[in-house]
């Protein structure tokens, strides 16, 4: 009971220290609100109000149909310019796309030749360039094919594949982006908060006070793990309810309580990692550099951005030791596919085992650094 009381009181002390740190509080609020929203909606699924200019040197029925295909809200009303104005408009950033329809385009097409249309893309407009170029290509292809067939409508094919989109019927990018963002924020914040809590003790000189008190390194570490873990867990629950389900309108078919249980096991591992990094670093800048070196590989290679199956087998095997690999599988299974405990129990078991190993590894390092 005395040990439990020490862990409780030391954890409350950590919460009070965090309450007096406005920078970390602002980071927590931003990471679980605006950061998730911006990551979920930052990459557009299609162009939106993209600026386009057209050099129509053909002045034919087909060129007019192609230009009429650029409709709002995907594109602003196309601007008619001359060939000499095209480079200037791109250089000054007035147009993201410029389309040059050459003279005799319709005549050459009807004669069976293969005329070309020049499309210039301002690749510095990253959010619009890549999705917009593909969108323009589809518009041109559709209008040309319909013009040659003399009617609008899909042509009959011998075999037709009926596609059913499971779990995300409309392929809404923000659904995947929001879940991936909250997984990343949970990992990042838990490591930062626990590492910063240990470094704060060293910078403020309170670590010496703890050493002369009747508390053990196990109690010190347990207090930091549970207090910072509770903060991240609470922020996760609020963000899931009000930002992801409310603001972004992402449906959650699975059990929120089961997901939060998985978050708890994941936090057990990542907060221990934060303690370990806090023993290695001597200042907050050093902690930040260590976290960057570790966090980026964890996010990229855990399967949150690209499927693990597309990675080399050696990388897949190595990443099985990372808690993020199992947490990403668990989060996607519950929040996308509505999986229950009977499906995700291997990930829960793996997180518990990895968290235990990380906890005692960090505890051993903490004992050495304190003595």
pTM (2 d.p.): 0.78
pLDDT of residue 44: 65
Q: Which two tokens stand for residue 94?
A: 């007035």
For position 60, which CATH number holds?
Answer: 3.40.1710.10
User: Which pLDDT band, with edges at 50, 70 and 90, does 45 fall under?
Assistant: low
Q: How many domains does the chain have?
A: 2
- pLDDT tens-digit profile of 17-31? 888 889 889 999 999
Coil, strand or helix: which one is 265? Answer: helix
- Confirm whether 187 is domain-assigned: yes
- pLDDT tens-digit profile of 214-245? 888 888 889 889 999 999 999 999 999 999 99
Q: How far apart are CA 250 and CA 359, in angstroms?
A: 34
Q: Which domain holds residue 266?
A: 2-42+172-370
- pLDDT tens-digit profile of 306-358? 888 888 899 889 999 999 999 999 999 999 898 999 999 999 999 999 999 99
User: Do 228 and 130 belong to one domain?
Assistant: no
User: Do 363 and 259 belong to one domain?
Assistant: yes
Q: What are phi and psi of 79, to 5 degrees?
A: -95, 135
Q: What are phi and psi of 97, to 5 degrees?
A: -130, 140
Q: What is the DSSP string of 19-69?
A: HT-HHHHHHHHHHTTHHHHHHHHSS-SS--SB-EEEEESS-SHHHHHHHHT
Is the pLDDT higher at 341 or at 369? 341
Closest CA to 62 of 155, 154, 153, 145: 145
- pLDDT tens-digit profile of 124-155? 877 777 788 888 999 999 888 888 887 665 56
Closest CA to 294 of 322, 313, 268, 315: 322
User: Do 233 and 311 belong to one domain?
Assistant: yes
User: Which pLDDT band, with edges at 50, 70 and 90, does 176 fall under?
Assistant: confident
* Residues whose CB falls within 8 Å of the CB of residue 114, separated by 6 or more in sequence, listed in order: 108
- Confirm whether 353 is domain-assigned: yes
């Amino acid at each position: 009971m005395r040990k439990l009381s020490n862990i409780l009181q030391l954890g409350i002390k950590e919460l009070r220290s965090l309450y007096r740190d406005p920078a970390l509080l602002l980071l927590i609020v931003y990471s679980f609100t605006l950061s998730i929203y911006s990551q979920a909606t930052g990459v557009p699924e299609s162009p939106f109000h993209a600026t386009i200019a057209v050099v129509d040197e053909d002045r034919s029925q087909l060129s007019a149909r192609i230009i009429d295909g650029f409709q709002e809200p995907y594109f602003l009303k196309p601007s008619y310019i001359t060939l000499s104005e095209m480079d200037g408009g791109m250089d000054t950033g007035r147009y993201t796309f410029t389309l040059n329809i050459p003279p005799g385009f319709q005549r050459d097409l009807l004669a069976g030749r293969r005329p070309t249309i020049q499309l210039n893309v301002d690749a510095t407009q990253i959010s619009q360039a890549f999705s917009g170029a593909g969108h323009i290509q589809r518009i041109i292809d559709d209008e040309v094919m319909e013009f040659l067939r003399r009617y609008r409508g899909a042509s009959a094919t011998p075999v037709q594949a009926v596609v059913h989109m499971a779990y995300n019927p409309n392929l809404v990018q923000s659904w995947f982006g929001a879940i991936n963002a909250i997984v990343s924020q949970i990992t990042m914040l838990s490591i930062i908060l626990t590492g910063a809590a240990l470094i704060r003790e060293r910078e403020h000189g309170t670590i010496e006070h703890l050493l002369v008190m009747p508390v053990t390194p196990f109690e010190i570490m347990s207090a930091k793990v549970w207090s910072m873990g509770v903060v991240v867990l609470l922020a996760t629950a609020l963000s899931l309810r009000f930002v992801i389900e409310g603001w972004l309108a992402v449906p959650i078919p699975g059990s929120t309580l089961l997901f939060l249980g998985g978050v708890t096991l994941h936090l057990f591992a990542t907060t221990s990692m934060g303690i370990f990094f806090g023993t290695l670093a001597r200042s907050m800048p050093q902690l930040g550099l260590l976290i960057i070196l570790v966090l980026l590989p964890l996010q990229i290679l855990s399967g949150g951005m690209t499927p693990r199956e597309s990675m080399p087998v050696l990388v897949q095997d190595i990443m099985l030791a990372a808690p993020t690999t199992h947490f990403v599988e668990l989060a996607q299974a519950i929040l996308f596919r509505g999986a229950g405990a009977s499906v995700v129990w291997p990930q829960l078991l793996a997180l518990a085992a990895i968290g235990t190993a990380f906890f005692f590894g960090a505890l051993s390092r903490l004992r050495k650094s304190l003595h």
